[in-house]
Amino acid sequence: MTVSPSTRTALTRRGTVTIDVFGLNRQDLVNARIAAFDCMCSVLRDRRRLLQAGDAIRADRLAKSLFDQPFIDVLYTMLRVRHHPRAELVLDGPEVVEALADPALDLWSTGSGRRR
């Protein structure tokens, strides 16, 4: 299954069945994933600006909030495609791609940077 910020596309027969059984392309889920993408882009840009301003404490809080979202799969998709040569075309511009390049986000996504 491939993942866009909004809809799911099956790569296999099993993926097709999974999408159908769980209704992963229901309009309410599509709309929620679009909203999650927009929010994540905003938080990533804000976090990057805080880091540039030297406010690591608030930037760390924003990183934690990214990984506590109900549509975390949207962020994982963004992290997965960030290295693509034309990622800025689908990731809301170069500022978001640069924010996703922060190695600290890799630590958070693996769980080793998470604090509760």
Dist CA 49 CA 33 (whole Å): 24
Long-range contacts made by residues 95-100, C-beta under 8 angstroms, separation at least 24? 95/45, 95/48, 96/41, 96/44, 96/45, 98/48, 99/44, 99/45, 99/47, 99/48, 100/44
Q: What is the pLDDT of residues 51-73, one digit of tens each?
A: 999 999 999 999 899 888 888 88
Q: What is the pLDDT of residues 45-56, one digit of tens each?
A: 999 999 999 999
Contact 105, 51 (CB under 8 A): no
Task: Residue count of the chain, please give it.
Answer: 116
Q: The pTM is what?
A: 0.79
> Is the residue at 23 inside a domain?
no
Tokens of 28: 């309410």
Q: Which domain holds residue 86?
A: 35-110
Tokens of 30: 């599509």
Q: How many domains does the structure of the chain reveal?
A: 1
> Is the residue at 95 inside a domain?
yes
